[in-house]
């Protein structure tokens, strides 16, 4: 409500500004967010001062001929400000408040899980902000550092453009956490990308008949880079006996998937996981 009233007042004053210009305002040449500033005025006597910024509106009585002090709190938001002073007549000026120095980095990394050995699958975007959450639009050098488990860190420097810097990279060949860090001097933001095994590369199965049925299990299931596939990965075992088929979807536990098939008679066992097909084995009565 207050903002509306001041905005209306400023608008009315600006309409009147064109008719009389006895008072002058001189805006600060380089205002920075969070730094106090002063607006010089000419003339004499008391007047009403209005300030409207991106997230603030102020109205107060001032003495003409003296500087109007703007506190750090009044100038926390970067952007365009309009100052108006009215006595018998009104005068106005506009000025821009720039963001302060970067104090934090908003850092987004995608994806949170990346399969190994994929080109350009990991990307990160960094946006520097000052202590008042203003996006810093001035070019700022940002260093991206990627550190895989037991690996040598790799760095990539990129200045921000229009307040944003980004990188794109491939995943490594080993599964495990990849720490990704964006830094501006001593300001850092860390994220972790989990590099996970790709699809199973080959499946080998073995089986034997027991009193409960045929126990079939895989050898350790790995992707084409040699990483064990994550626990829980489904391996579908199939047993064909004459014109009857049995399936078990069994999860990998500690690199191995295991199931019990109740098929009777001679059976042909096989397994598949994703696009990987396993060997076939035959088990007699």
Partner 1 sequence: MKRALPIVILIVVVTVVLIVVGLSGSSRYRQTVGIASGTALPGFSEDPSTPEKALANLMIDIQRRNWERAYSNIERTSDSLTEQAFREQWIGTNGGLRSFSSLERYEARPLHATDADAEMRVRLHWATPVGPVEDVRDFHLVHRGEVWKIVWNEIPAPNLPAQIVPVNYLRWDLVSGNASEEWGSHNVDAPHVRIVSMNAVDTGQGAVVMGEVVNEDTVPAFVNVGATLVDASGNAIDDENSFDKILHVLLPRQVSPYRIDFPKISLSKVKNVRMDTKATLVPASSDPVIGVMNQKLDTDAQGHTVLHGELFNESGQVVNIPHVIASFYDNTGKVVWVSDGYVEQALLPQASEPFAVEIPQSLAGKVHNFHVVVNQYSLQKS
Site string for partner 1, 214-243 (x = CB under 8 A): ---------------xxxxxx------x-x
- Mark the segment that binds partner 1 (CB under 8 A) among 40-48, 60-68, 84-92, 101-109: 101-109
**CA distances, 113 to each of 108, 110, 231, 232 (Å):** 13, 8, 15, 16
Query: What's the closest the beta carbon of residue 96 comes to partner 1, in angstroms?
Result: 26
Q: Which DSSP state fits 265?
A: S
Query: What's the closest the beta carbon of residue 200 comes to partner 1, in angstroms?
Result: 8
Cβ atoms of 84 and 13 within 8 Å: the answer is yes
Q: Where are the beta strands (DSSP E) in 9-67?
A: 25-26, 31-32, 37-41, 46-53, 56-63
- Under rule CB under 8 A, residue 280 binds partner 1: no
Q: Which of 2, 18, 19, 112 binds partner 1 (CB under 8 A)?
A: 112
Query: What's the closest the beta carbon of residue 178 comes to partner 1, in angstroms?
Result: 14
113-152 residues in contact with partner 1 (CB under 8 A) are: 113
The span from the CA of 123 to the CA of 52, in Å, is 39
Q: Which of 136, 197, 201, 283 binds partner 1 (CB under 8 A)?
A: 197
Residue with token string 């990307």: 123
Q: Is 53 exposed, middle or buried (0-12, 13-18, 19+ CB in 10 A)?
A: buried
Query: What's the closest the beta carbon of residue 114 comes to partner 1, in angstroms?
Result: 10
- Under rule CB under 8 A, residue 274 binds partner 1: yes
Instruction: List the Cα angle 20/25/27 in 5-degree steps.
Output: 145
Site string for partner 1, 172-191 (x = CB under 8 A): -----------------x-x
Q: Is 143 exposed, middle or buried (0-12, 13-18, 19+ CB in 10 A)?
A: middle
Whose Cβ is closer to partner 1: residue 51's or residue 200's?
200
The span from the CA of 45 to the CA of 30, in Å, is 28
Query: What's the closest the beta carbon of residue 274 comes to partner 1, in angstroms?
Result: 5
Query: What's the closest the beta carbon of residue 140 comes to partner 1, in angstroms?
Result: 18
> Which residues of this protein are in contact with partner 1, per CB under 8 A?
106-113, 189, 191, 196-197, 199-200, 229-234, 241, 243-251, 253, 259-263, 273-274
């Amino acid at each position: 409500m207050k903002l509306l009233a001041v905005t209306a007042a400023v608008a009315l004053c600006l309409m009147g500004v064109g008719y009389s210009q006895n008072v002058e305002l001189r805006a600060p040449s380089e205002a920075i967010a969070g730094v106090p500033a002063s607006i010089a005025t000419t003339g004499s006597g008391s007047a009403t001062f209005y300030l409207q910024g991106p997230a603030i509106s102020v109205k107060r009585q001032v003495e003409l001929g003296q500087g109007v002090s703007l506190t750090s709190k009044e100038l926390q938001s970067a952007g365009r400000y309009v100052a108006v002073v009215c006595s018998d007549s009104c005068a106005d000026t506009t000025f821009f408040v720039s963001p302060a120095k970067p104090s934090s980095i908003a850092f987004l990394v995608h994806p949170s899980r990346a399969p190994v050995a994929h080109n350009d699958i990991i990307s990160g975007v960094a946006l520097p902000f000052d202590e008042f959450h203003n996006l810093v639009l001035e070019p700022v050098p940002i260093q991206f550092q990627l550190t895989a488990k037991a690996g040598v860190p790799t760095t990539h420097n990129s200045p921000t453009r229009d307040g944003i810097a980004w990188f794109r990279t491939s995943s490594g060949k080993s599964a495990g956490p990849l720490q990704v860090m964006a830094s501006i001097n001593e300001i850092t933001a860390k994220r972790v990308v989990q590099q996970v095994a790709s699809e199973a590369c080959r499946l080998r199965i073995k089986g034997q008949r027991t009193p409960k049925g045929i126990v079939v299990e895989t050898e350790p299931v790995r992707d084409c880079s040699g990483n064990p596939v994550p626990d829980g990965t489904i391996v579908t075992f199939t047993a064909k006996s004459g014109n009857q088929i049995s399936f078990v979807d069994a999860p990998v536990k500690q690199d191995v998937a295991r199931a019990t098939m109740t098929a009777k008679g001679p059976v042909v066992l096989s397994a598949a996981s994703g696009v990987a097909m396993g060997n076939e084995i035959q088990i007699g009565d």
